[in-house]
Chains A and B, each alone.
Chain A
Amino acid sequence: MPPSREAMVHRGDEDEVCPVCKSSRYLNPDMRFLINPECYHKMCESCVDRIFSSGPANCPVAGCHKTLRKNRFRKQTFEDIHVEREVDIRRRVMTVLNRREEEFDSKLDWDNFLEQREEIIFNLVNGIDVAKTEADLQKYASDNMRSIRANQALEAKEVTSFQERQNQEQELARLRRQAAKEEYENERKEILAGREDVLTRLASGRPADAATIAREGQRVLLKKSSARRSEEERIRLKQAALRGTDAKKPGQPAAAAEEGGSGLIKGLRKIKTPEPEKAYDPFGGMVPNQRDYYTLQDHYPSTFLDPVRQDTRMLAGGYDLREYYSRTLLEAFAGLGCFIDEEVSKREGNAFNTMKPVGTQGAALAATSDSQAGK
């Protein structure tokens, strides 16, 4: 059992005394306290050494029967042990429920997930429905092992590649950043100058003006820093755009729910095969030389064309019969499979077609000209 709230409220006062051996920091200034996240009972380092060095043992605090291991003792980060515990729970839940925003179909689903996660944390922290919650979490963890790992890996990669990427970005955005930096410098100087100005004005002004002057100075600073922020924002966006492809490259989030749904979480995207970055297509998506009706040859016999083949001047100018072959054959078959009666009646947007129903449109036209011709 974790210590009761009551019991811990007074902890702060007793901070200087080890609740186990009762030795006091007053006598031993080097004394360090440790906690174990099993029960969060605090004891001094020497007690931990003494009790747990020979293997797992029960917590020495009266009434607590948790089995503790020495290697799990650590320093307390937060002064308030409740915070300490909540943070630990949060960390544990988050490593399991580590879905990423891009895995959700909508912003709403993502928000719902965040809320659900908070609720789970809240329950665990406050001991509500702990058994069921833990079981759910456990089940989820084993069902979604793969995606959890993948997302962990992704996160790790993001962290490790951050520096790397930043270098790259810096290279790419060197000039822009240079400019921004200069501006920043200038602004800083302005701020300093502004401050000095305020100070001098304060020094020389009447005391009643002090507030006004200070406010003014503040406003100027604010204005400038918001300008700077928008510049920073612009750079950040730019860099994000630059990163865009790179960031995606490390791998799409390890796609949603394995074997038909994660159970616990709703609104996950259907599994999509991650799209690898496409190779650059010099033709921009068009397929060259796609033909249905002919195979272009390098040579066609033709008495009409024979003089060209002999004409050095024409050939020296670059005239190329292959272009003629290619054009005539293309034109021989371009539109062979376009059946106008079908396609034209289907399509829309042709201004003439809007006039098609003579009965209506024609009458409308006639009507407008009549009415405008006005009696």
Chain B
Amino acid sequence: MTEDDFYRTSSQFRLWSFTEDSLRSLRQNTNSLASDRVRDALRRAREARQSANSSAAGTPNPNGSDADSKPGDEKDIECLTPEEEQELVRYYCEQIVQLGESYKPPLPTIVRATAIQYLRRFYLTNSPMTYHPKTIMPCALFIATKTDNYYLSLRQFAEIVPGDTSAEDIIAPEFLVMQSLRFTFDVRHPFRSLEGGIMELTAISQGLAQPAPHTPQKTADNLQRTMLSLPQPPNTNQPSSAASISDRLARAHHNTREILKSAAQMTDAYFFYTPSQIWLSALLLADRPLAEFYLDTKLSGPKVDKSPELTQIRTKLLTTLNTCAILLQSYKPLASDPDQKKALRRIGKKLYHCQNPEKVNLAGQKRIPAAAMAAAAAAASASDPATPDSEMERLAKKRKLESEAKRRDDIFGGELVMERTRERQG
């Protein structure tokens, strides 16, 4: 088995790799189905209220629950676009990083990265309009702690999750999330790959490397000499000398890793590229001459030139790595981008109006039906059980309360995570 054979058997390659077109159409499809459903649901809600009003005529409508969604509203309901959904999901991916940071000790990078990929995979076939990311995000992170062997009890985990999120709330959508992940839990990350590459580059820098299978002519000496005479990456002005090669490697290592932790997670890189392509692209961004040299140690020289197959791979690889690098470079962190924040606020407001009312508690009731039943029954008896639209009413109330609570800072609860983090750090 070659290196590539190992990757081809992975579920990531089998189920979670897409061309740009196929990914776009999948998202489009998910979005349009969800939009249809939201419109239908809101229509039904309105009709239910009307029929309730007519059948229970005379009963005063408590608390004016119609205030939020008048019968006419639904016509104007504007649903999220696939792009807006993506923005929103990305925001919650950033929240995973934040939330992971607030644990003591912080959750490992890998666990967070796995959770981010879970969330991204989840929203390929689900819409934020159906399942709000704020309920899915903590669950994805908790699943990641389990699948990546960083075990915390749900109770421990829940303590750090901000807001009034209970352990039950976190675990409630677990099955839903797992089903959407198509029960594949293994995520192939580029982090360990980076370690391997840096390890080998270090060996080369010390003249301890062995030539790669297709480049037998490159001896340890020869590799080391070439490496030491590499031009510096454009954005540094360090003198080139043997003494600094370890610094250079350390710098490249660190910068590449930062890209892998951020840009690689927040873009579609995992869907379009393999981990080894991702880390090498990130290395290209961090230190282009070094990355190109490293590729040359694998795929250049007489043997490669003589083999059409290897030459072809080399050509394709260079194109692929460059397009991947461009994708990674396109990433702008939310914190440094006021426009994005503004856009997010707008999307959040929009989502508030096009959230599917029938699904608000669905996740919660799916996981532990009995418990959910009990909770629902309790809720029902608390309000007037004779009122036919008690559920809708309850939702409306809940929404109102929520929106009031959020108005302080932002429209969606996820930002609480940031607040909480700030508090903890402060």
Contact at B199–A325, with CB atoms within 8 Å? yes
Inter-subunit contact A361/B15 (CB<8 Å) = no
Query: With A295-B213, A350-B15 in contact, do A334 and B4 touch (Cβ < 8 Å)?
Result: yes
Q: Is the CB of A334 within 8 A of B202?
A: no
B29 with A328: CB separation less than 8 A: no
Of B145-153, B237-245, B275-283, B401-409, the one with at least 4 CB within 8 A of chain A: B275-283
A341 touches B19 (CB 8 A): yes
Is the Cβ of B274 less than 8 Å from the Cβ of A336? Answer: yes
In the complex, B28 has a CB within 8 A of chain A: yes
Q: Is A331 an interface residue (CB 8 A)?
A: yes
Residue among A295, A365, A373 making CB contact with B210, cutoff 8 Å: A295
Are A338 and B274 in touch, CB under 8 angstroms? yes
Is the Cβ of B3 less than 8 Å from the Cβ of A291? Answer: yes
Asked if B84 is at the interface of the complex by the 8 Å CB criterion, the answer is no
Q: How far is the CA of A234 from the CA of B22 in the complex (A)?
A: 54
Q: Is the CB of A332 within 8 A of B22?
A: no
Number of residues of chain B lying within 8 A (CB) of chain A: 60
Interface mask (A336-348 → B, CB under 8 Å = 1, otherwise 0): 1111110111000
Q: Which residues of A contact B200 (CB under 8 A)?
A: 294, 300, 329, 332
Give Cα distance in the complex from A356 to B28, angstroms.
10
Chain A residues in 8 Å Cβ range of B36: 366, 369
With contact pairs A292-B2, A358-B25 given, residues A302 and B317 touching in the complex (Cβ less than 8 Å):
no
Chain B contact surface mostly:
helix
Flag whether A127 is at the interface (Cβ < 8 A): no
**Which residues of B are found within 8 Å of A304, using beta-carbon distances?**
195
Question: Chain B's nearest CB lies how many Å from the CB of A374?
Answer: 12
Question: Does A327 sit at the interface, judged by CB under 8 A?
Answer: yes
Establish whether residues A302 and B18, one from each chain, have CB atoms under 8 Å apart when the complex forms: no
Q: Are A301's CB and B206's CB within 8 A?
A: yes
Contact indicator A328/B192 (Cβ below 8 Å) = yes
**Is there a chain A Cβ closer than 8 Å to B371's Cβ?**
no
CA of A333 to CA of B275 in the docked complex: distance in angstroms? 8
A290-312 CB mask vs B (1 if < 8 Å, else 0) is 11111101011110100000000
* Interface residue B203 (Cβ < 8 Å from any Cβ of A): yes
Contact B21 A334 (CB under 8 A): no
- Take A300-B200, A355-B26, A357-B25 as given contacts and tell me if A366 and B33 are in contact as well, using a CB distance cutoff of 8 Å: yes
On whether the beta carbons of B196 and A328 are closer than 8 Å, the reply is: yes
State whether B6 touches A334 (Cβ < 8 A). yes
- Indicate whether A241 reaches chain B with its CB closer than 8 angstroms: no
A357 to B202, CA, bound (A): 47
Chain A residues whose CB sits within 8 angstroms of the CB of B213 once the complex forms: 291-295
- Among residues of B, the one whose C-beta sits closest to the C-beta of A365 is B33
The listed residue with most A CB atoms (<10 A of its CB), out of B14, B22, B28, B214, is B22
A330 beta carbon closer than 8 Å to chain B:
yes
Binding site secondary structure of chain A: loop
The CA-CA distance from A302 to B13 in the complex, in Å, is 31
- Interface check B212, CB cutoff 8 A: yes
Whether A331 lies near B18 (C-beta < 8 A) is no
**Contact: A369 with B33, CB < 8 Å?**
yes
Interchain CB contact under 8 A, B13 and A338: yes
Task: Give A300 to B299 CA distance when docked, in angstroms.
Answer: 21
Q: How far is the CB of A262 from chain B (nearest CB, A)?
A: 43
Which chain A residues in 268-293 approach chain B with CB under 8 Å? 286-288, 290-293
Given A325-B199, A352-B15, A362-B28, answer yes or no on A331-B275 (Cβ-Cβ < 8 Å): yes
Q: Which of A291, A302, A329 contacts B2 (CB 8 A)?
A: A291
> A168 interface residue, CB < 8 Å from B?
no
Q: A333-B276, A352-B26, A357-B25 are in contact. Are A300 and B203 (CB under 8 A)?
A: yes
Q: CB of A353 within 8 A of chain B?
A: yes
Of B6, B29, B209, most buried by chain A (CB within 10 Å of CB) is B29
Q: Does B320 contact A (CB under 8 A)?
A: yes
Chain A residues bordering chain B, tally (CB within 8 A): 47
Report chain A residues within 8 Å CB of B193: 328, 331-334
A55 within 8 A of B: no
The answer, yes or no, to whether A207 is at the interface (CB within 8 Å) is no
Question: How many Å lie between the Cα of A337 and that of B304 in the bound state?
Answer: 14
**Is A336 a contact partner of B33 (Cβ separation < 8 A)?**
no
Contact B273 A340 (CB under 8 A): yes
Task: Pick the residue among A300, A327, A341 that contacts B202 (CB under 8 A).
Answer: A300
Tell me whether A260 is interfacial, beta carbon within 8 Å: no
> Which residues from 1 to 58 on chain B have a C-beta closer than 8 Å to any C-beta of chain A?
1-4, 6-8, 13-15, 17-22, 25-26, 28-29, 32-33, 36-37, 40
Cα–Cα distance between A325 and B208 once the two chains are bound (Å): 14
> With contacts A328-B195, A358-B29 known, is A335 near B7, CB below 8 A?
yes
CB distance A297 to B275 under 8 Å?
A: no
Q: How far is the CB of B8 from chain A (nearest CB, A)?
A: 6
Contact of B316 among A328, A339, A356 (CB under 8 A): A339
B25 and chain A: residue at smallest CB distance: A358
Return B21 CB to nearest CB of chain A, in Å.
Answer: 7
Q: Which residue of chain A has the shortest Cβ distance to B32 in the bound complex?
A: A362
Q: How far is the CB of B80 from chain A (nearest CB, A)?
A: 17
Name A333's closest neighbour in chain B (CB-CB): B3
**A353 touches which of B22, B188, B210, B273 (Cβ 8 Å):** B22
Are the C-beta atoms of A358 and B28 separated by less than 8 Å? yes
Contact present for A330 and B13 (CB under 8 Å): no
Q: Taking the nearest CB of chain B, how far is it from the CB of A338, in angstroms?
A: 5
- Check if A356 sits within 8 Å of B21, measured CB to CB: yes
Contacts of A333 in B (CB 8 A): 3, 193, 196, 276, 298
Residues of B with C-beta under 8 A to A341: 19-20, 272
Q: Give A341 to B18 CA distance when docked, in angstroms.
A: 7
Q: Which residue of A lies closest to B26 (CB)?
A: A352
Cβ-based interface call for B313 (8 A) = yes
Q: Which of B256-315 contact A (CB under 8 A)?
A: 272-277, 279-280, 298-299, 313
Query: Are B196 and A335 in contact, with the CB atoms below 8 A?
Result: no
Q: Which residues of B contact A355 (CB under 8 A)?
A: 25-26, 29
B388 interface residue per 8 A CB criterion: no
Subset of 19 A-B contacts with CB under 8 Å = A290-B1, A292-B2, A293-B213, A295-B211, A295-B212, A297-B208, A300-B208, A327-B192, A330-B196, A343-B17, A344-B22, A350-B14, A355-B25, A356-B21, A356-B25, A362-B29, A366-B32, A369-B33, A373-B40
9 closest A-B pairs by CB: A335-B274, A328-B196, A335-B7, A332-B196, A358-B25, A334-B7, A333-B3, A295-B210, A336-B276
Given A301-B202, A327-B196, A332-B197; 10 other pairs, CB 8 A cutoff = A292-B214, A293-B298, A293-B299, A331-B192, A334-B6, A334-B7, A336-B274, A352-B22, A358-B29, A362-B28
